[in-house]
Amino acid sequence: MEEKLYRNSLNYVPIDVAKGIDRITGKRVNADEIDPNYERMPKCMHCENFTKNEEKIGLGMCNVGKKPFIAYPDMAAITCEWYKDK
Ligand code: SF4
């Protein structure tokens, strides 16, 4: 199940690794809180080209192109031209 956390939401502006600002309310929030207005941010973990590494937490592979390469599930993919929403 998708975690509808601020850290994964388009409505979140990070200040540091733990906290940021809700763009709708303007309030300071924690990255791991539930975002009531959650909008999915494109990240590798939400991409059809991504395969999660079951042995190493926080790692995966991008399978676009001829040769797969290491990708991180939490990596923002807003500028990735190959991103395909799952
Ligand atoms: S295609 Fe882009 S967004 Fe998708 S897994 Fe590869 S690097 Fe990430």
Band (pLDDT 50/70/90 cuts) for residue 3 is: confident
Q: What is the pLDDT of residue 35?
A: 97
Q: What is the pLDDT of residue 55?
A: 87
- Interval 55-85: pLDDT, tens: 888 899 999 989 999 999 999 999 999 999 9
What class is the 1-41 domain?
mainly beta
Architecture of domain 42-86: Single Sheet (2.20)
pTM: predicted TM-score of the whole model, two decimal places: 0.83
Contact in structure between 9 and 38 (CB atoms under 8 Å): yes
Closest ligand 1 atom to residue 75 Cα is: 8
Q: What is the pLDDT of residue 28?
A: 98
Closest ligand 1 atom to residue 50 Cα is: 5
Write the CA distances from 79 to 18, 25, 44, 64, 82, integer angstroms. Answer: 23, 26, 11, 15, 9
Q: How far apart are CA 35 and CA 66, in angstroms?
A: 37
Q: What is the pLDDT of residue 56?
A: 84
Ligand 1 contacts (CB < 6 A) are 44, 47, 49-50, 62, 64, 71, 77, 80, 82-83
Q: What is the pLDDT of residue 85?
A: 93
Hey, where are the domains in the chain?
1-41, 42-86
